[in-house]
Amino acid sequence: MPTDRSNSRPTARSNPGPAAAARNRAALLEAAHAVFAEGGTTAPLSSVARRAGVGQGSLYRHFPDRVSLVAAVVEENVDELEAVSARAGTTLSDLLGLVTRHAIESVGVVDLLAEDRPVRMLELRDRVAAALAAHHATALEAGAVPPGTTVDDLMLAVELVAGALTRRPAAERGPMAARAWRLLGIAVVLP
C-alpha cells in the first residue's frame, strides 16, 4: 500500500470506479480506429490495448471478441453518419463520401462482418440505409445517382467499394474508391 510521506501512514489508492471504465472504453475505441486504419481489422488486439494504455483484461471486459470491437467501431461510424445526415445542406454524395472514408480507415470490416453477421450488425446496416434513404430522392432529382437507383443499390455499391479497398495499400485506397464510384456513376464527395 502506498505511504503518505508527510506522516508515514499508509494511504488508500483511489478507485476511479465507473469513470475509469468509461474512459477505458473510449480509449479502446479510439485506439481501435487507429489500429484498424493502419493494419486492418485483423491487426492484433494487443495492439489496440497497448495503444489505449490499458491491459488486455480491460479490452476483453469491454469487447469479448474481435467482432464485438469491430461492431463498436462501426456503431461509432454510424452515429457520425446519422449526425451528418441530420445537418441542413447535407447531400447523399456527402454521406457516401463519409461512408467511404470510414471504409478507407477500417479496411476489412466488410470481410470480417460478412463472416458473422450478428443481429447488431444488421441493425447498423439498416441505420446506414435509413440515413442514405433520407437523401435518396433529392440525389435522384439532381442526377447525382443513375435513374432508377434504389437505396438497396446504394448499399450494394457501398459494399462493393469497401470490398475493393480491403486488398489495397493505404495510399491507394482513396484514389481507388474515387475510381470505383465514378465507374458506378454515383457522384461522391470524398473527404
- Contact call for residues 107 and 173 (beta carbons, < 8 A): yes
> Of 28, 6, 2, whose CA–CA distance to 14 is shortest?
2
For residue 112, the model assigns a pLDDT of 59
For residue 19, the model assigns a pLDDT of 72
- Alpha helices (runs of H) in 11-116, residue ranges in sequence order: 18-39, 45-52, 56-62, 66-86, 92-105, 109-115
- List, for residues 154-187, the tens digit of each pLDDT value: 999 998 998 888 878 888 999 999 999 999 999 8
For residue 135, the model assigns a pLDDT of 97
Residue of 125 and 90 predicted with greater confidence: 90
- pTM of the full structure: 0.81
Band (109; pLDDT cuts 50, 70, 90)? low
For residue 117, the model assigns a pLDDT of 60
**Mean of pLDDT over the chain:** 86
Does the pLDDT of residue 12 top 50, yes or no?
no
**What's the CA gap between 75 and 124, in Å, rounded?**
7
For residue 119, the model assigns a pLDDT of 75
- List, for residues 13-55, the tens digit of each pLDDT value: 454 666 788 899 999 999 998 998 888 788 899 999 999 999 9
- 189's torsion region: left (phi>0), alpha (psi -120 to 50) or beta? beta
Q: Which residues contact 52 (CB under 8 A, 6 or more apart)?
A: 24, 27, 28, 30, 31, 58, 59
